[in-house]
Structure 1
């Protein structure tokens, strides 16, 4: 059993990509970024262009670190909502980072519980590879739907290493889903969902970022 399987715990058929061991994931996140988590996720907030007054949605929010930074950038009049399919993860996010303008809800990316055009910005970090492939297109369509015209999206996911040894280590520790994560498909899938001005970049050693705008 690899680390990814341990973090996911018992599979929930209603949310097959959900991570159940929330506190372990939070500890792993702190360790993995080696003191640069705020810097890295702060860059994501900057790339997304979160500004004071914005309404932000974080899809696959996990323990809510990116959500909280987005809420901070949207202050004083804006807000951020984090959505995750894992009830334990949402509970941990509320415990650690819930505030007046930073809230968390249980929900799936392919069935977002929000009216059309609710948000100015949608963000997501290290979550796309957890969305089952058969509903990933629907999830991108939902992100498009809940954004207002002119709204912005930033998706950041794990960029697999290219070296044979490093790929082997990632596969052994995190599983094939991360070792073979097809991040090159994100941009064309966003375009298929209706987004425009799609661009790609890297943040840090292993984050592949895709930015786009809803026309």
Structure 2
């Protein structure tokens, strides 16, 4: 596919905290990953098991770095769809898209794609932005759109990280949540599980609990994923993978 398009059929209800500053977000992540964000994207794509000719979906794609890397590894006969609820992110990603990569405005908990559409699904640094009550719905949606034998990868910062990098993770998470909630225009509190700064109500006293992808292991197994495995990745990341039985 050589065209990039944008769809705008997001449900009217809140989709959680949005980040609407693609250039600033790209700069921030480049600084945090010491200019090696592309290397991390390659690691995620390889760990997800992307193969030439595969169709993949990257949910919460942001400015599109991982989606474009998935497209590169899938090759000219592959196809990748990046999905994000932030219109500025989709506009930016579309302007920088690989030929076999399209970007769509959409929410993780309401994917419009048919059943068994993709070989690979990824969601990185994004699950904690989804309202907590909707996260299992999003995970079930990933399972639905994957083909039998399809692979899922979830990744985020690893909450066990300490020292300077741990402090940086906390600062980035706080900035993203604050900017996301402010730009999205939440009220003081809503039924979507977010407060007026866009923070999810994951429980007091643990600012990094929401980014720990290990919390989804039981949910993935209950939904039907097999071979659910957690591992640590580069740059203090945690990676959770699973396979849809085929």
User: What is the TM-score with the length of structure 1 in the denominator?
Assistant: 0.87
Who is 2:208 aligned against? Answer: 179
Higher share in helix: 1
Q: Is the alpha carbon distance of 1:28 and 1:13 closer, same or farther for their aligned partners in structure 2, counting shifts above 3 Å?
A: farther
Who is 1:120 aligned against? Answer: 119
In the TM superposition, residue 143 of structure 1 has moved relative to its aligned partner by 0.2
In the TM superposition, residue 184 of structure 1 has moved relative to its aligned partner by 2.1
Provide the aligned length of Structure 1 versus Structure 2. 203
Are 2:114 and 2:145, in contact at CA under 8 Å, matched by a contact in 1?
A: yes
Are 1:48 and 1:153, in contact at CA under 8 Å, matched by a contact in 2?
A: yes
In the TM superposition, residue 174 of structure 1 has moved relative to its aligned partner by 2.8
Greater relative contact order, per chain length (Cα 8 Å cut-off, separation 6+): 2
Tell me the SS of whatever aligns to 1:58. strand
Who is 1:198 aligned against? Answer: 228
1:105 aligns with 2:135: no
Q: Is the alpha carbon distance of 1:45 and 1:173 closer, same or farther for their aligned partners in structure 2, counting shifts above 3 Å?
A: closer
Q: Is the alpha carbon distance of 1:124 and 1:86 closer, same or farther for their aligned partners in structure 2, counting shifts above 3 Å?
A: same
User: What is the TM-score with the length of structure 2 in the denominator?
Assistant: 0.76
In the TM superposition, residue 171 of structure 1 has moved relative to its aligned partner by 3.9
Tell me the SS of whatever aligns to 1:154. strand
Q: How big is each residue's C-alpha offset from its partner over 1:28-79, in whole Å with a ceiling of 9 and x where there is no partner?
A: 1211111221221111111111011000000100000000000000012001
- Alignment map for 1:33-44 (pairs within 5 Å): 33-44=33-44
Single out whichever of 135-144 and 181-190 deviates more from structure 2. 181-190
Structure 2 portions without partners, runs of 5+ = 1-11, 175-198, 201-206
Structure 1 portions without partners, runs of 5+ = 1-11
Separation in structure 1 between the aligned mates of residue 156 and residue 167 of structure 2, nearest angstrom: 19
Q: How big is each residue's C-alpha offset from its partner over 1:4-43, in whole Å with a ceiling of 9 and x where there is no partner?
A: xxxxxxxx96322221112211111211111221221111
Single out whichever of 161-170 and 184-193 deviates more from structure 2. 161-170
Who is 2:158 aligned against? Answer: 159
Q: CA-atom RMSD, angstroms?
A: 2.1
